[in-house]
Amino acid sequence: MENELKYKRILLKLSGESLMGEKGSGIDPQILNFFSEEIKKVHELGVQIGIVIGGGNIYRGLNAAEQGIDRVTGDHMGMLATMINSLALQNALENHGMFTRLMSAIKMEQIAEPYIRRRAVRHLEKGRIVIFGAGTGNPYFSTDTAASLRAVEIEADVILKGTRVDGVYDADPEKNPEAMMYREIHYLEVLNKNLRVMDLTAISLCQENNLEIKVFNMNVPDNLLKIVKGEEIGTSVKELD
């Protein structure tokens, strides 16, 4: 079965906002259930899965200044928000029969293991899904950067960035029906055109390590499964010949 797979070890990046569903904030149990079912299809094929999830449905550190909170404090609050989402996703995955480990960049031993690279890789090799919480553990770095960093550290084959649109467009497809989707695009073009796939640090880290980013619609059933099998879904951000 593994011979059919294009990607054997993946880092799945989900936004905190994706967990809201139609609720507008917080966590929608139906979305958690759907994501768990999609992840299970891939897990059952033997794919090793790491996950980074944002915290924007609960708290955005970037907006802290508007509330009179300094940036460092706001970013720490955002890291804790990612842990809430990570715990919710962990619980949903285990309810679907998968073994998981939650690892935190900030020590909180009562609810998560501290992040240790070698231990994370060992969990993956044993077939456990590893959720990386609390970002990088440092302020001023987004969960996109955390996803890139963890993907490089665990030597993932690809970052799969699940969004609510089909890929990377030359304009916002939710506002402009004429927007064109790229099938492949170079890292530098993403930066030069300010396409907001990931932030500058995250994209640069992927480029330096020649790590492909695949942007796709996580809300379409079987998209994740099709990608790991090699079907052309979404947009590939990578080095182009």
pLDDT tens for each residue of 36-63: 999 999 999 999 999 999 999 998 766 7
Question: Is the whole-model pTM more than 0.75?
Answer: yes
Q: Judge whether residue 101 has pLDDT over 60.
A: yes
**Rounded-to-integer distance, Cα 65 and Cα 82, Å:** 19
**Rounded-to-integer distance, Cα 164 and Cα 217, Å:** 5
- For residue 21, the model assigns a pLDDT of 84
**Helix runs in 126-234, H state only:** 143-153, 187-192, 200-208, 223-228
Q: Band the pLDDT of 169: cuts 50, 70, 90.
A: very high
**Rounded-to-integer distance, Cα 6 and Cα 15, Å:** 24
Please state the rounded mean pLDDT for residues 199-215. 97
- For residue 61, the model assigns a pLDDT of 65
Residue 191's CB is within 10 A of a number of other CB atoms, namely 16
Q: Are 146 and 206 in contact (CB under 8 A)?
A: no
Q: Judge whether residue 4 has pLDDT over 90.
A: no
**Rounded-to-integer distance, Cα 229 and Cα 237, Å:** 18
The residue that leads in pLDDT, 167 or 196, is 167
**102-152 pLDDT tens trace:** 999 999 999 999 999 999 999 999 999 999 999 999 999 999 999 999 999
Please state the rounded mean pLDDT for residues 66-91. 94
Q: Are 139 and 72 in contact (CB under 8 A)?
A: yes
Q: Judge whether residue 90 has pLDDT over 70.
A: yes
Q: Judge whether residue 2 has pLDDT over 90.
A: no
Domain boundaries, the chain: 2-237
Superfamily of the domain at 2-237:
Acetylglutamate kinase-like (3.40.1160.10)
- For residue 59, the model assigns a pLDDT of 86
- For residue 3, the model assigns a pLDDT of 60
Please state the rounded mean pLDDT for residues 233-241. 92
- 173 conformational bin, left if phi > 0, alpha if psi -120 to 50, beta if neither: alpha
Average model confidence (pLDDT) across the chain: 94
